Amino acid sequence: MAIIPINLKDGSLDQNAPELIIGIDLGTTNSLAAYMKDGAPVCVKGPDQKNTLVPSIVHFAPQGEIVVGDAARAKLVTDPANTIFSVKRLMGKSYRDVENIRGFFGYQIIDDDQDALVKVRVNDRFYTPVELSAMILRELKTRTERELGAPVSKAVITVPAYFNDNQRQATRDAGKLAGLDVLRIVNEPTAAALAYGLDKNESETIAVYDLGGGTFDISILQIQDGVFEVRSTNGDTFLGGDDFDHAIVDFWLEQLGVSREFLSEEKEFAQAIRLQAEAAKKALSSADVFENEIFDKKLRLTRSEFDDLIQALVQRTIDCCRRALSDAKLRPNQVDKIVMVGGSTRVPLVRSAVSAFFGQAVYDNLNPDEVVALGAAVQADVLAGNQKDLLLLDITPLSLGIETVGGLMDVIIPRNSKVPGKAGRQYTTSVDGQKNLKISVFQGERDLVEHNRKLGEFILKGIPPMPAGLPKIDIHFILNADGILTVRAKELRSGVEQQIDIRPTYGISEEEMGRMLLDSITNAQTDHALRGLLEARNEANNLLLSGDKFMRQNAAILSQEETNITNALLNELRRAAEGQDKDVIHRAIENLNAYTTPLAHRALDVSIREAMKGKKIAS
């Protein structure tokens, strides 16, 4: 079916308009969109026709209205529980990945003790980072349509170069949920290089140092005759300006004699001091001292104190730069330019540390907040067929492989391999007559799979019975231009074959995606509430079995009141699990966990004391 552009300003049809594909930088702190105008990329401006940045913040108003951007930012202090920020740090993550920083957020991150996509609780609803990111993307889509006067349905979205397969797929899912056909996922440093080198003809080796609000990347690229070849990449998806803010907050808390537990209880104060830390970070880029006051408490920070606080964090980025150069087989003095990307690169210590490592002044002629979105617009223009003389050769940041005997990681596609690409290896069986082979796919750099990220698994069935070692099983990895993986397995003697598109452990299934899209179109709240009911029931049933066993084994150490309350909470969860509302089940699980956790700690102490009776610890 043909797509005919419609001019939203006057309702006329524009059948001769070129295909419209926008570039989007979905950031931790701010997000923005860009498009090509008269052969050059430009960023979409807000209603004031000045500011291009949309704060990556979502606020849920009491009446059910969802607000994104500056209006949401204004609610960070007054309504922190219902105002979501830094959601990019949660993309593709489980609770176990983020539990150490949960106190940093004013909103509630749910601990379901499962290796599943982390959830955020807002009132009586539970949202995934994919859904929350989709709200930000939808705002960018709306803003772009308003400026261009035409509908937008296709986009290129950037991600940190060190995002793994889970996080890339989560970003693609968010785009789908926002009503966008995501044509390409592009690494942020690579996009920045496209914007930098658009009009350059000479051959250069550049380093793109990208330090944003929540992530850090360093990529080494060779630019020659319109070919942008990524030589290597390194980084940390949990290192950025937010961590600078954390360090300042911890410093002030120590000065004020305030505990971290106080922040968990007083959300308004927590958000107020976090925002002051962010303000101090920005002010100290040009001033020598920052002073302010919140809730009758004086805050003060000097430039030298700030430098001391973030020295170790900045050094982590330099260590990444050293590894990236090593992978590219280059020395620092062989890099022609260091392109600075991301708002956190405005910090003077960052700039001086990078300059000292590479032995030259950094290149900062580009707006660090906008350059990634501008590069995404260039890549969108390439996909639209308007840029014939540009070629992007990107790489995969992390190794991909399978689990072999003993829990070892056997790498099939090494890190820094070109994408798109494919590679394969031949395996065999380890047991006589083996008919099935489970293939578990992992991503990471450690030798043991337990230290790497599991992406998925499938079973190759129907292998003819043969002695161990006789079957020949070809396993091929096919990596597309977005860095998303397909795995194909074939037993060569019998021709038995199976192929699977790896759906990340922390992603969203196509069925769930369909329901979310339907919900976004029809605003059917009840459909959304039913999603995930079965998973919630399974979680509840497992907890009920554990709870009943705990009560039987520890009756002697519980008071009558504790026994009565625990039994009541178990019955509450039992009734919730029989119902049709997963949110009610999650609340019942939370209530039970909150009350029984201290009891479990006490039971463990008693067990340890009993086990140690009559025993002596050797000195």
Q: In this structure, is the dihedral angle defined by the CA atoms of residues 133, 78, 286 and 354, taken in order, positive or negative? A: negative
210 is catalytic: yes
Helical ranges in 257-302 per DSSP H:
260-265, 267-283
Q: Which helix or strand (DSSP H or E) is residue 108 part of?
A: strand 108-110
- Residue 188 annotated as catalytic: yes
Our CA dihedral for 390, 180, 158, 121, rounded to 10 degrees, sits at: 180
Q: Provide the token pair at 525.
A: 């709240």
Rg (CA), the chain: 26
Task: Please say whether the beta carbons of 491 and 429 come within 8 A.
Answer: no
d(CA 294, CA 296): 5
For residue 191, what are the CA distances in angstroms to 144, 198, 228, 230?
Answer: 19, 11, 10, 11
Beta bridge pairs of residue 24: 33, 157
Burial pattern 538-576, b for ≥16 Cβ within 10 A else e, equals ebbeebbeebeebbeebeeebeeebeeebeebbeebeeb
What six digits make up the tokens of 369? 């907040």
Q: What is the spatial distance between Cα 494 and Cα 284, in angstroms, rounded to a whole number?
A: 68
Give the HSE-up count for residue 233: Cα atoms under 13 Å, Cβ half-sphere.
Answer: 32
- Are 115 and 126 within 8 A, CB to CB? no
Neighbours of 378 (CB within 10 A): 26
Residue type for position 489: A
* Annotated active-site residue in 79, 131, 173, 210: 210
3-class DSSP state for residue 95?
Answer: helix
- Measured at the CA of 156, the angle between CA 55 and CA 90, to 5 degrees, comes to 50
Which of these is catalytic: 75, 79, 88, 93? Answer: 88
Active-site entry in 79, 112, 165, 188: 188
Task: Determine the Cα–Cα distance for residues 434 and 463; give it in Å rounded to an integer.
Answer: 7
Which residues have C-beta within 8 Å of that of residue 129, sequence separation ≥ 6? 87, 88, 90, 91, 92, 93, 117, 118, 120, 170, 174
- Please identify which residue in the block is written with the tokens 């001033």: 287
Cite the beta strand spans of 512-594 per DSSP E. Answer: none
Tokens 């030298």 identify what position?
Answer: 304
The residues, any chain, with a CB within 8 Å of residue 157's CB and separated by 6 or more, are 23, 24, 26, 137, 171, 172, 175, 180, 182, 184, 185, 186, 376
List the strands of the sheet with 453-460, edge to edge: 408-413, 400-404, 437-443, 453-460
* Cα 380 to Cα 184: distance, rounded to the nearest angstrom: 8
For residue 25, indicate whether it is catalytic: yes
Q: Report the amino acid identity of residue 246.
A: H
Active-site choice (25, 229, 243, 245): 25
Q: Annotated catalytic sites, by residue?
A: 25, 88, 188, 210
